[in-house]
Structure 1
Amino acid sequence: MKKRSVLLVISLLYCTFLQLLVELPQMHQAQVSQVEPSVSGIWSKVIRIEKTSSVSASSSSLSNSQVSQKLDIAYKLFGIFPLKTGEVEVMSPMSLIPGGQSIGVTLQTKGVMVVGQAPVVDKNGKNSFPAKDAGIQVGDILLKIENQDVKTDQEVSNAIDAAGKQKGTATVLFKHQDQMVEKVVTPIYCVETGRYRMGLFVRDEAAGVGTLSFINPANNLYGALGHVITDADTNQKIEVYNGKVIASTIYAIEKGKRGHPGEKIGSFVPNSSFSGTIEKNTMTGIFGKMNGQVENPYFKEAIPVGWESDVKVGPAKIYTVIKGEKIEEFTVNIDRVMHNRTDSKNMIIRVTDPRLLEVTGGIIQGMSGSPIVQDGKLIGAVTHVFVNDAQRGYGVFIQNMINDSSMPGKQEAA
């Protein structure tokens, strides 16, 4: 029995060690004062981190920060046995103004997205699927019909009807899983509508409510949402053709509960004090240029950015709107920090604020993008809620949002 217990303890320690080894960051971004990643707890006595080489990097033409470096590092057991290698990028000092404002988002797709199939009933009462038969699938992006660009559902409908009347076929150029494809569709005359159709449901825009994450006062670039905008039916990323963000007001809260995420219910503000373009829709949020007056009463000036190396388990604060347009401050706890993830789930956060728990039940839809501040630094943004535990959710590192925004801040090696 004693031997079995010892083996069990050894197995648990070994599994924990393997998990730690996997989570040690291969790519690490840090400020000059925190160049090397740290190992916490008992493992700090066992694993040593050594700098193996460094490369100077010239100052970026987009930033007036000082010269930076790229460092190669090695993780070693007891400082002797190599375990893993990694790289550290020394980041330029940077400050941003945390957001928290409720925003309305409208997005027009680049092309027209296929979101469903619909039968076309011909004069004999037969159901046909012309587009499906030609190889067009749900999730494909229609770009051109008969060599003419299509940007709206009405343009698609008109182009197919015209082609059907003129020659009985339509050449359709579309994007399928990052591949450009051209197919010939034979539209069917629909007795019910009196038009030629190809049997598709399509969508050319998306809209919703979210939260502004930050603004760069140096150039008015902003970041919001903390995650990619996808189509509601296909769950595919929306390619941006045009879009904007404006202020929104929250007039009701649907409280979250186990198995059913809550939601902010709001509407766009007609005479918004600010508006912004949407130039990028990425894994870590939307980005663009902001115009007008954007204010956060808690931050009159920009605060330092906290890179991945600054984020730690412990208390933090988030800023969001739960009524009207008023930004409020709420307490949360960062329960876990996850390195090496390239998506928007870099940390697990837990709502600890009694009032926020009372009003919303925790993290709810529409809260995505709410800035996370720890130790006076902007470290991330709220991104997702746990479906079975509304009190907890995910957050993204602010550095990942900055990287995706192409915002000046990182010095590339010469």
Structure 2
Amino acid sequence: MLYKKLSITLMVVVCLLFPSQVFAAEVILGGQSIGIELDYDGVMISGTYEISIDNKKYNPANDGYLSGDLIVAVNGEHVDSISLLMDRVEKEIEDKQTITLTIKRHQKEVKKELKFQENNGQFTTGLYVQDGLTGIGTMTYYNPQTRHFGALGHLMCDVSLSSDVIIKEGSIYNSYVKKVHPSQNGTPGEKVADIGSIQIGTIFDNNNYGIYGDYQDLPSDKKVISTASIDEVEKGEAYFLTVLDGHTLMKCPIKITKLKKQNEPSIKGITFEITDKKILSLTNGIIQGMSGSPIIQNGKLVGCVTHVDVNNVHQGYGLYIDWMLENDK
């Protein structure tokens, strides 16, 4: 049988065109925890394991299969889910056909024979596969003028895979935060959350500056806020909103310590430190799952949390809201 290995992409990235015109906007403030699901147009190989064929050990990794390969067809028939892949493979085995997989690798297609171990009507391929990415992040804003949302503030990808495939489409759901694992220098913590079954939006883009899409419903406690231009952002006191327990929004006071005056979209324009002792007692700094948390200063939305400084987890980085609005176009 094929084994599904679900990869959870963690939502704070560890430190690693001049816009035509950006206008201030009136948006609905976010801060809510969201579950994110992105769907591959195919089935991604996430790893391999050893099987036995004709009493000989066999591992697909030694046969040229790579983590990050995207399976798009079985004997010429398109597949885009694990269930469809299994159905196609089972049919070809029953028909005693040689199974040829069409694989996308670095923007090229490769044909490879699929070998398998069969035992009592069950087949094993030696491949771990997944048909999408699932993770937890934070909503930044809803735009009632366009009915679009912006969240996360950085690209969502599976850093454990070698693939250069970027998934552009998917869905967002309500999310319930159950507990928090605090950060330690060298090891960022994380939110542990359940993804709900109610879809609240459809993703149409996933890029270096976040995920964007159409929302279905606004939060019940919606608050309208103006966005600030880059020139309006100042060093000094600010705060961001995020969820650390259940669905409850928490205010996290910060001090903005450094600003990059960028004239084109770029990450880490805002450097800040968490200053609130209560928040630090819960998280000990920036944790995975905070990405997208809206940063507010002087009553305006100025950006969102995107990165953690792995060597000093009290310190984080943010993306200017101008760049999110520009990418939302």
TM range (shorter): 0.7 to 0.9
Residue 201 of structure 2: SS of its match in structure 1? strand
Pair 1:279 & 2:204 matched: yes
Deviation at 1:118, TM superposition (A): 2.4
Q: Choose the corresponding residue for 1:321, options 243, 256, 278.
A: 243
Q: Is the 8 A contact 1:160 1:196 kept in 2?
A: no
Residue 287 of structure 2: SS of its match in structure 1? coil
Q: Is the 8 A contact 2:22 2:326 kept in 1?
A: no
- Given the two structures, how large is their TM-score scaled by the length of structure 2? 0.84
Question: What is the distance in 2 between the residues matched to 1:327 and 1:402?
Answer: 23
More helix by share: 1
Deviation at 1:362, TM superposition (A): 1.7
Match of 2:35 in 1: 104
Unaligned runs of 5+ in 2: 1-16
**Superposition RMSD in Å:** 2.6
Pair 1:290 & 2:218 matched: no
Deviation at 1:388, TM superposition (A): 2.3
Deviation at 1:191, TM superposition (A): 3.8
Residue 390 of structure 1: SS of its match in structure 2? coil
Question: What is the distance in 2 between the residues matched to 1:237 and 1:337?
Answer: 31
Q: Is the 8 A contact 2:238 2:255 kept in 1?
A: yes
Deviation at 1:342, TM superposition (A): 5.1
With over 3 angstroms needed to count, the CA separation of the structure-2 counterparts of 1:238 and 1:312, relative to structure 1, is farther
Q: Choose the corresponding residue for 2:76, options 147, 153, 157.
A: 147
Deviation at 1:392, TM superposition (A): 0.7
With over 3 angstroms needed to count, the CA separation of the structure-2 counterparts of 1:28 and 1:122, relative to structure 1, is closer
Question: What is the distance in 1 between the residues matched to 2:209 and 2:21?
Answer: 21
Higher relative contact order (CA 8 A, sep 6+): 2
Q: Is the 8 A contact 1:97 1:217 kept in 2?
A: yes
Q: Is the 8 A contact 1:143 1:149 kept in 2?
A: yes
Match of 1:218 in 2: 145
Pair 1:305 & 2:227 matched: yes
- Further displaced range: 365-374 or 237-246: 237-246
Question: What is the distance in 2 between the residues matched to 1:189 and 1:157?
Answer: 12
With over 3 angstroms needed to count, the CA separation of the structure-2 counterparts of 1:241 and 1:308, relative to structure 1, is closer
Letter paired with 2:302: I
Question: What is the distance in 1 between the residues matched to 2:201 and 2:131?
Answer: 20
Residue 240 of structure 1: SS of its match in structure 2? coil
Residue 317 of structure 1: SS of its match in structure 2? strand
Match of 1:244 in 2: 171
Q: Is the 8 A contact 2:157 2:166 kept in 1?
A: no
Q: Choose the corresponding residue for 2:87, options 149, 154, 158.
A: 158
Residue 213 of structure 1: SS of its match in structure 2? strand
Question: What is the distance in 2 between the residues matched to 1:241 and 1:308?
Answer: 27
Deviation at 1:312, TM superposition (A): 3.2
Question: What is the distance in 1 between the residues matched to 2:59 and 2:97?
Answer: 15
Unaligned runs of 5+ in 1: 1-26, 30-88, 407-414
With over 3 angstroms needed to count, the CA separation of the structure-2 counterparts of 1:269 and 1:93, relative to structure 1, is same
- Given the two structures, how large is their TM-score scaled by the length of structure 1? 0.68
Residue 327 of structure 2: SS of its match in structure 1? helix
* 1:90-147 deviations in Å (ceiling 9; x for gaps): 4334222220011122222221111112233112x212345753x4421121111222
With over 3 angstroms needed to count, the CA separation of the structure-2 counterparts of 1:260 and 1:153, relative to structure 1, is same
Match of 1:386 in 2: 309
Letter paired with 2:242: T
Question: What is the distance in 2 between the residues matched to 1:398 and 1:268?
Answer: 26
With over 3 angstroms needed to count, the CA separation of the structure-2 counterparts of 1:294 and 1:120, relative to structure 1, is same
